[in-house]
A and B are shown apart, each in its own frame.
Chain A
């Protein structure tokens, strides 16, 4: 079975500063990795995904993530955040063996301050 750990439950950051959200996963087989964003009182929206190929993945809204197999990590980064990036961010993992059912991490709440 796979699992996901998001090491930071909350990350406060000033506007225009960079941010990194950490995600580590555990799986005995090849994984597919995702980052979703959830704005207040809304459903989840896909930011980016890693299926195979290049380990640096670029997503929407200026976000990118890097898959590191040796460290079993998939950290999310943005070089300069906006107030509108205030949201909850979820890392998720799935495998073919799991029937592509997602397992979510506990989430990281990002609060962007002016």
Chain B
């Protein structure tokens, strides 16, 4: 059974049109992460939550926002997607006392 679920699997949006990617988890983990992975590159951390405590990476563009309304759900909002934002977006979770990350299958975002 999937434990970290990302929807949709593939998302197409238009240049400049806001888009939201979603992540849900059944693990009740405190920490949730959003990574951006461009083609043939390593995942790059955008931001993460310790419970409701939001932590933004210094080089994450302002165009990227996140919401975590409850423990189970986390959203990535891209306010005005550019062509350079086309990538795989990965959600991951972990508990506070375990370093192992559980990843979702990712959402592949295309920007036309």
Contacts and interface: CB of A to CB of B under 8 A. Distances in A.
B105 interface: yes
Nearest to A34: B99
B103 interface: yes
Interface in B1-23: 4, 6
A100 B45 contact: no
Q: Is the interface of B mostly helix, strand, loop or mixed?
A: strand
A42 interface: yes
B108 A107 contact: no
Contacts of A46: 100-101
Nearest to A100: B99
Contacts of B90: 43-44
Most buried by B among A45, A99, A100: A100
B104 interface: yes
A32 B41 contact: no
Interface residues of B, number: 22
Contacts of A43: 4, 6, 90, 92, 103-106
Contacts, number: 49
B56 to A, nearest CB: 12
A41 B103 contact: no
Contacts of B105: 41-43
Contacts of A49: 99-100
A104 B43 contact: yes
Instruction: Enumerate the 8 nearest inter-chain pairs by beta-carbon distance, A residue then B residue, closest first.
Output: A43-B103, A104-B42, A44-B103, A43-B105, A43-B106, A43-B104, A106-B42, A42-B105
24 contacts: A32-B99, A34-B99, A41-B108, A42-B106, A43-B4, A43-B6, A43-B105, A43-B106, A44-B92, A44-B103, A46-B101, A49-B100, A51-B99, A90-B43, A99-B55, A100-B94, A101-B33, A101-B48, A102-B101, A104-B43, A105-B42, A106-B41, A107-B40, A107-B41
Given A42-B105, A43-B105, 15 more contacts: A41-B105, A41-B108, A43-B104, A44-B92, A44-B103, A51-B99, A90-B42, A90-B43, A94-B99, A99-B55, A100-B94, A101-B33, A104-B42, A104-B44, A107-B41
